[in-house]
Amino acid sequence: MPVSALDHVALPTTDAARLVAFYRALGFSIEGEDAWIAGDALVLGIVCGSQKINVHTEALLALRSHPAVLRAPTAEPGCADLCFVWDGGIDDLLATLQRLDVTPEHGPVRRLGGRGVEGASVYCRDPDENLVEFISYRPADVDPLPPRQTVRWWADPVV
Where residue 1 falls among pLDDT bands split at 50, 70, 90?
Answer: low
Q: What is the pTM (predicted TM-score) of this model? A: 0.78
In the chain, pLDDT over 90 holds for what percent of residues? 49
- CB-based contacts of 66-70 (< 8 A; 24+ apart in sequence): 66/42, 68/10
- Give yes or no for a contact between 68 and 60, defined as CB atoms under 8 angstroms apart: yes
Q: Which domains are present in the chain?
A: 1-79 (no CATH), 80-149 (3.10.180.10)
Measured between alpha carbons, how far is 66 from 125 in angstroms, rounded to an integer? 28
- The pLDDT score that the predictor gives to residue 159 is 44
User: Average model confidence (pLDDT) for the chain?
Assistant: 84
Q: At 153, is the pLDDT very low, low, confident or very high (cuts 50, 70, 90)?
A: very low
Kindly indicate the confidence band of residue 68, based on its pLDDT and cuts at 50, 70 and 90.
Answer: low
